[in-house]
Structure 1
Amino acid sequence: MAGDKSGVVGIMLIETAQRIDTLPEYLFAKLDKIVARKKEQGIDIINLGIGDPDQPTPEHIIEELYKEAKNPANHRYSSSIGILPYRQAVSQWYADRFGVRLDAKTQVASVIGSKEGIFHISWSFLNPGDVVLLCDIHYPVYRIGALMAGAVPYYMPVNERNNYLPDLGSIPADIAKKAKLLFVNYPNNPTGAIAGETFFHELIAFARDNNIIVCHDGAYSEIYFDDYRPPSFLQFPGAKEVGVEFSSVSKAYNMTGWRSGWIAGNAEVVEALTRLKSNIDTGQFQAIQYAAIAGLNTPPAYGQSLRNLYQERRDLVVDGLNRLGWKLEKPKAAFYLWAPVPTGYTALSFSEMVLDKAGVVVTPGTGYGQGGEGFFRISLTTPTNRILEAISRISRNIDKAVF
């Protein structure tokens, strides 16, 4: 350092903000590091952890991106709310799929993947000390976004006994009156649970009575099986008065890396998030938005072929685990299996044991909140032959006494 006669080079002290100091490492980032170390050791790892579709994006969507990427008009700044044709396509998709009517100009906005929008909605409405209602098993971003806004989570217990639906009537009155946001997600990640008409009617009434904004994550609405077909939160009377729904093209059209999603519903909530985003980003690349429109216009036969694939994998995993001693039912939606760990294990110790002995990654349930202790999650977004190999490895390499 110039002018330093001691010969000791000064070291700058870098201090992160308190909000960063309390921020946990994202679950899948941590898993990625563990898997990378195993691979460096020459170990073949089968990753049944993250829910990232292994199938390619349909060709007509890629062609649309290619065409629009060659248009110089799309190389300029977009807008945080999203181009109107994209918002109109989302609005039309809701009308066709759920019979929901939305004003594309005021009730729909683009987000850069629903994860981004879900994170920032807390910044739009929560002040330090405000209460946010979360299920005690939940997609981690609901909690992290709220904590970064300085809010205080109240965890609603969900479990197999209540079909992983929160008992809204059990929430203390003083907590309900303090709460500003409530996050729910059906079909559910990580449990695969579904919610019906009765629950959504109760949810809307509860939100109206307590002046709470409902944020429904509908990311898995197009992944369903057997005779089940998930509803949208927005299709129920009063929903657009009390809340919004987040979704995207990620899961339905194998476009997770494209980061194209939306918020839809209450116009005031949509406007507030868009106002925040206008100070943070300048929108998604317009060519990707046009490609997402092509995704939303994909013929129904494609969706059915994808569901058939996931249903085949679901059956293989459930049947395979049940042969080992589990007693799992086949979920009606989403591409996850939620299962209890064997006696004597925690969620983390079981996941570590399966990785060490079988070279298979399963996600510990505690990654999804305190209610996930004692469970693990398997994702069905790995090639079928690798899923079969994973079940075979678990069967061969883990002492049957465990099960």
Structure 2
Amino acid sequence: MEEFHRIKRLPPYVFAEVNALKAAARAAGEDIIDFGMGNPDLPPPQHVIDKLAETLADPRAHRYSTSRGIPGLRKAVAAYYDRRFGVDIDPESETIATIGSKEGLANLAQAITSPGDIILAPNPSYPIHAFGFIIAGAAIRSMPAGPDLDFMSALERAVRHSVPKPLAVIVNFPSNPTAETTDLAFYEELVAYCRREGIWIISDLAYAEVYFDGPPPPSVLQVPGAKEIAVEFTSLSKTYSMPGWRIGFCSGNRKLIAALARVKSYVDYGAFTPIQVAATAALNGPQDCIDEMRRRYRERRDVLIDGLAAAGWEVPRPPATMFAWAPLPPAYADLGSLEFSKLLLREAKVAVAPGVGFGEYGDNHVRLAVVENLQRTRQAVRNIKAFLRHDQGSGDSLGAVG
């Protein structure tokens, strides 16, 4: 029997291979320290949990919700954009609640994509950035991305050589997986170029509040005129340690918001109302929990990066996000990220995400998420240090892969 058309366009999920090995190791009783998935281990703010519990007691809260998001939540998103970015968002027409950024991106792709449309996406990038549009029938033109590459030059080159002209470009700063950041001057140049060329901008700002060094990350919507061509996705997953709650937002251009709302009205009834009420409390309530989140991740980042450096593995210190984008140690560069990840799991009992899972241009890196506490992070560093010393000392690093 033939495979379904859309499924054929999706490669095997690279992370599944490492996850299967991780599960098998744990089933065998091994203690695996997991830096693989960006799955926050910190608890949500207590006042948010309390609001959820309170709302659950209301029988009316268990009815169907609304796919656009309850009015109070959309107003809270608008208030967030005003105080954080100085951006005016109309809660009725310029923002919509999503069941996490992932769902929003996938449904926006369904709403605006025709078969054969060209979408420009950074590579490496978070998989849904490309595959949401691939599922919708688009063709992806990858733009190699990273701290040493000029995004605007890559964009202009891609537009020049694309037929038909690209429908949209996706940007993600702070970046998952590379942790790269940008400034408002970049967005000003991007908006001016895309307005001139008639290209939509789709920005993923999920890590807006997870930053350590330098000024707070800006929003593309801060640029005058950006709302004519741009939408932006934000999320409560990382900011308030609420990943399993699946609540996010899309804000900006009215036409794109309306298109997303139209599709969502057919495919879902929105997030569970008590979750939306609690999310409203998160956005409107005390924000000291965000400072604590940053402090924890910064501390873990420094223990991890300093420890790996002492072990002989030089990894750039990420200025933002909860990820370190680590080049493969030189002795293992020929393995590729998947085989190195499997080797690290087997020999050091540490799980990481292979960079190739974020695109072929990520195959010389792995991504480490600082989602283990300090004690376990230090243990992971010790395990990696022992592995590197033993494996390189024995001279059989390549043969150990099997």
Calculate the TM-score normalised by the size of structure 1.
Answer: 0.92
Cα deviation code 1:321-357 (max 9, x no counterpart): 1112233332211010001102333111211110110
1:395 counterpart (370, 385, 399): 385
1:80-159, aligned counterparts within 5 Å? 80-159=67-146
**What is the deviation of 1:41?**
1.4
Question: Mapping of 1:219-234 within 5 angstroms?
Answer: 219-234=206-221
Find 1:261's aligned residue among 232, 248, 256. 248
Q: Give, as a single letter, the amino acid of the residue that structure 2 aligns with 1:60.
A: H
CA distance, structure 2, for counterparts of residue 243 and residue 281 of structure 1: 24
**Partner residue in 2 for 1:318:** 305
Amino acid at match of 2:387: N
**Paired residues of 1:118 and 1:141 also in contact (CA < 8 A):** yes
Which of 345, 365, 376 aligns to 1:355? It is 345
- Structure 1 residue 274 and structure 2 residue 261: aligned? yes
**Deviation per residue, 1:347-375 (Å, 9 max, x gap):** 11211110110110011110100110111
Once the two structures are TM-superposed, the CA of residue 401 in structure 1 deviates from its matched residue by 6.6
Distance 1:278 1:182, change over 3 A: same
Specify every segment of 5 or more residues in structure 2 that has no aligned partner in the other structure, as ranges.
Answer: 394-402
Q: Which residue in 2 is equivalent to 1:36? A: 23
CA separation of 1:287 and 1:99: change in aligned 2, threshold 3 A: same
Within 1, Cα distance between the matches of 2:146 and 2:152?
8
What is the alpha-carbon distance in structure 2 between the residues aligned to residue 398 and residue 236 of structure 1? Answer: 47
Deviation at 1:290, TM superposition (A): 0.4
1:376 and 2:366 equivalent?
yes
Structure 1 stretches lacking a partner, 5+ long = 1-13
Runs of 4+ deviating beyond 6 Å: 163-166
Q: Deviations over 1:361-391 (max 9, x none)?
A: 0111101001101111100111221111111
Q: Match of 1:192, SS?
A: coil
Whether the 8 Å CA contact 1:177–1:211 is kept in 2: the answer is no
* Whole-Å separation in 2 of the counterparts to 1:167 and 1:197: 18
Question: How far is 1:140 from its partner?
Answer: 0.3
**Structure 1: which amino acid aligns with 2:374?**
T
The answer to whether the Cα contact below 8 Å between 1:163 and 1:193 also exists between their aligned partners in 2 is no
Give the aligned partner of residue 56 of structure 1: 43
1:146-185 → structure 2 map (5 Å cutoff): 146-162=133-149, 167-175=154-162, 178-185=165-172
Q: Alignment identity in percent? A: 39
Tell me how far apart the structure 2 counterparts of residues 402 and 194 of structure 1 sit (CA, whole Å): 34
Q: Distance in 2 between matches of 1:165 and 1:223?
A: 25
**CA drift at 1:184:** 1.0
Q: What is the one-letter code of the residue matched to 1:191?
A: T
Structure 2 equivalent of residue 333 of structure 1: 320
Give the total of aligned pairs. 390
- Paired with 1:188 and 1:234, the residues of 2 have a C-alpha distance of 17
The TM-score normalised by the length of structure 2 is 0.93
Q: Does 1:301 align with 2:288?
A: yes
1:252 has 2:239 as partner: yes
Match of 2:399 in 1: none
